[in-house]
Structure formats: C-alpha cells, structure tokens
Amino acid sequence: MDAAEAERRAQAALLAQWDPRRRTFDREGPRFPRFERIAALRKLDAPWAKDLALEAAKGALILQDPKDGGFRRAANPDGSPAALEITAADQAASLDALCGLLPEAAKKELTFLDKHFKPTNKPSDWRGWLAGYALSPDRHRASDGAEFERWSFDGWRPAGAPRIADDANLSRAVLSCAEANAGQKAFANKALDRAWDDFGNKALKHDPRLLMDDAVALAEAELVRYKPERAVSMWRWLDAFYAAEDPVYYDRVATGVLPPDMDRITVPALNARLLAVMNRTMIDDPVEGRQCDFHRRRQRLYAWLSARSDALDPAVWAALAAAQPR
C-alpha cells in the first residue's frame, strides 16, 4: 500500500466517524483520548488532516481537568469524568498531541506534571499513575471514578511507580514540547538517564520482564536527544534478545509462565512504532543503519504491517506510510 492510498483510506474512515458538533470520534457514550490519532494527523501534509487535528485537539480538552491540568482516562458527554485514573501514558500522549497545536493546554499539562508527577523524594523519577489505584489489600483494583471520590475524602491519594516505558515516553514528550521550559527539560533528561541505566542493568541480567515497549520508548527518546547510536544499540538488543527470524518482534520474551498463545503476542502498534524508530535512525545515522541491516528489516516489517494495516489507527498508518523512506 502506498502513502497516497493509506491517506485516502484514513480520510474516508476518520471523516465518517467524526462528529463536528461534539468534536469527537466517539459519537455515543464516554469520550476516550485519541491523542495518538491527533499526533499522527499533524504529521500529514493534507489540509483536511491539519484541520481535523486541530478540531480533535480542541475536543480532547474535555478530558483535561480544568483545575489541575491533568488528563483523565475518559469523560462523559457532559464533561464530567467517567474515570479518574491519571496515567503517565496519557500525559505523554497528550503532550505529543497538543504541544505546538494548543500551547496553553500544553502549558497547563506541564504544570500538572511539575506538581503531581514528580515524587519529592526521587529527584529524577516520574510517577507512573495517580488516582483510583489501590495500595492496600482491600483496594487492589482500579476505581470506577465515583468510588475514588469516597476514598479521597479522607485525603487518601494513591500513586504508582513508572515502568521503564513510562519514564521514557514522558521524558521524550517533555523534551519534544516547545512549551516546556529549561527546568522541565532538565528533569526529563535526568529521568531518561535513570531509565536508560535501569534498562541496561536489567538487560545484562537477561531480565525476562523487559518488554518491547520499554526498548522502543527508550530508542524514540534517545533520537529526540540526538543520540542515534543509542537507538541502534536498542535495536541490536531487540534483535538479539528476541532472536527474531521474522520481520516482526513480539511484545515480550517467552517466559514459560503464560500459556504459549499469550507468551509470544505480536502487537502491530508496537511494531509500527519500531518501524518509525528505524526510519528515523536511518536518517540520523545512515552508516550505523546500513551496518545493522535496517533497510532489509524495514522493508520486510513495512510489508508485514501493510497487510495488517486495519489493526492500526488509520491516521497512524497513513503517517507511517508517508514517512517511509524510499
């Protein structure tokens, strides 16, 4: 599938879903973040995509808390929160979508991170999540929102530590954001250094808990910091640790703990992110890219994803196809 066809399909699919009055792709029920879609639409050159990205970004503000600036997991059509969980993944994705597009909303989100996502006792670490997640045996599940209000009445505010991917994604999003100030970027750099060291220590021990999204998120972040050699080393780790004979990578190393059909799951969205990292690495460090045989791997992975493009967000696939080096 060529880039023009991917864009045509994305336009047809997304405009059919779009509700211009509510500025959302969710015509019924709660609204959910479509940040990845908004960020992908921004990368397309077509006027329809640029216009839709801006309108969708405005519609996504229903998910931003008007007081503290953080983004919730879901919102009801009337603007009330359908779920109060606040995750690092959503905060990173919101910055990817809104920075440069809605500067004031991005600044509010960055202020929220300063106040609520930096543990005071860990100067180089993000939080992984806030709200609605229990730390005691009788509160070991996610809240549905209304229940958390009762919990927080007495000041109980649970928080969780980040995974490597959370650290890397949030750091990358801050470093990429034009609205972030020097202090915010300095903290993101420290958090990213800590995540890199954490990954390296676990990789040396062949820790089976490392996931593909940890490696991909770190590689993406290091490319933002103009360190393509680190992205190359991460690709080498993936290739060696996963022993990939096929053009695709599994989301985790087989541990023998889960059933075989769950232990080696291929996730098209993760492979699409990996392809984007490989494309960027080829541009930033073409010599290393050729030595690592990126070109052959990219072609095979692109063909594999093209046959499964319906498993990806249409805007994400169109942006990936448009960026594919020829």
pLDDT in tens, 312-321: 999 999 999 9
The residues pairing with 130 across neighbouring beta strands, listed in sequence order, are 86, 159
Residue 293 has pLDDT above 90, yes or no: no
Do the domain assignments include residue 178? yes
Whether residue 251 lies inside any domain: the answer is no
* Residue keyed to tokens 């969780």: 160
pTM of structure: 0.87
Question: Does residue 47 sit within a domain?
Answer: yes
pLDDT of residue 67: 85
- Identify which of 161-170, 177-186, 294-303 has the greatest average pLDDT: 177-186
160 SS3 class? strand
Provide the Cα torsion 256, 166, 202, 263; round to 10°: 10
Which 8-state DSSP code applies to residue 161?
A: P
Q: pLDDT tens digits for 192-246?
A: 999 999 999 998 888 877 888 899 999 999 999 999 889 888 888 887 777 666 7
Q: What's the whole-number average pLDDT of the chain? A: 84
Q: In degrees, to the nearest 5, what angle opens at C-alpha 239 toward C-alphas 236 and 243?
A: 145
Interacting residues of 293 by C-beta distance below 8 A, sequence separation 6+:
none
Domain assignment present for 120: yes
Is residue 302 in a domain? Answer: no
pLDDT digits (tens, 9 = 90+) for 248-283: 877 776 666 777 777 778 889 999 999 999 888 888
**pLDDT score recorded for residue 143:** 46
At 292 the pLDDT is 65
The number of helices, as runs of H, and strands, as runs of E, in the chain is 15, 5
Higher pLDDT, 171 or 284: 171
Which alpha helices (DSSP H) does 243-293 contain, by range? 260-263, 268-284, 286-291
Instruction: Over range 109-134, report the average pLDDT.
Output: 79
Exposure string for 20-41, b = 16+ CB within 10 A, e = fewer:
eeebbbbeeeebbbbbbbbbbb
Which of 54-58, 125-129, 252-256 has the highest average model confidence (pLDDT)? 54-58
**Which own/partner contact pairs does 261-268 have at CB distance under 8 Å and 24+ positions apart?**
267/212, 268/305, 268/308, 268/311, 268/312
CA distances to 56, 70, 73, 126, 200 from 65, in Å: 17, 6, 11, 20, 36
In angstroms, rounded to a whole number, what is the distance separating the alpha carbons of residues 15 and 57?
Answer: 15
pLDDT at 11: 97
Task: Classify residue 87: in a domain, yes or no.
Answer: yes
Alpha helices of the chain — where are they, by DSSP H? 3-17, 35-43, 47-60, 88-98, 103-116, 146-152, 164-176, 182-204, 212-224, 228-242, 260-263, 268-284, 286-291, 294-306, 314-323
Among 100, 104, 232, 119, which residue's Cα sits nearest to residue 166?
Answer: 119
220 vs 303: CA distance, rounded Å: 22
Residue 83 lies in a domain: yes
Domain count, the chain: 1
128-153: average pLDDT: 51
| Residue 211 main-chain phi, psi, to 5 deg | -115, 165
- Give the pLDDT band (50/70/90) at residue 104: very high
pLDDT computed for residue 284 by the predictor: 80
Examine residue 228 and state whether it is found in any structural domain, yes or no. no
Identify the domain containing residue 62 by its residue range: 21-205
Structure tokens at 8: 């045509």
Report CA 108 to chain centroid distance, whole Å.
Answer: 19
* Length of the chain measured in residues: 326
Q: With contact defined as beta carbons under 8 Å apart, do 91 and 105 qualify?
A: no
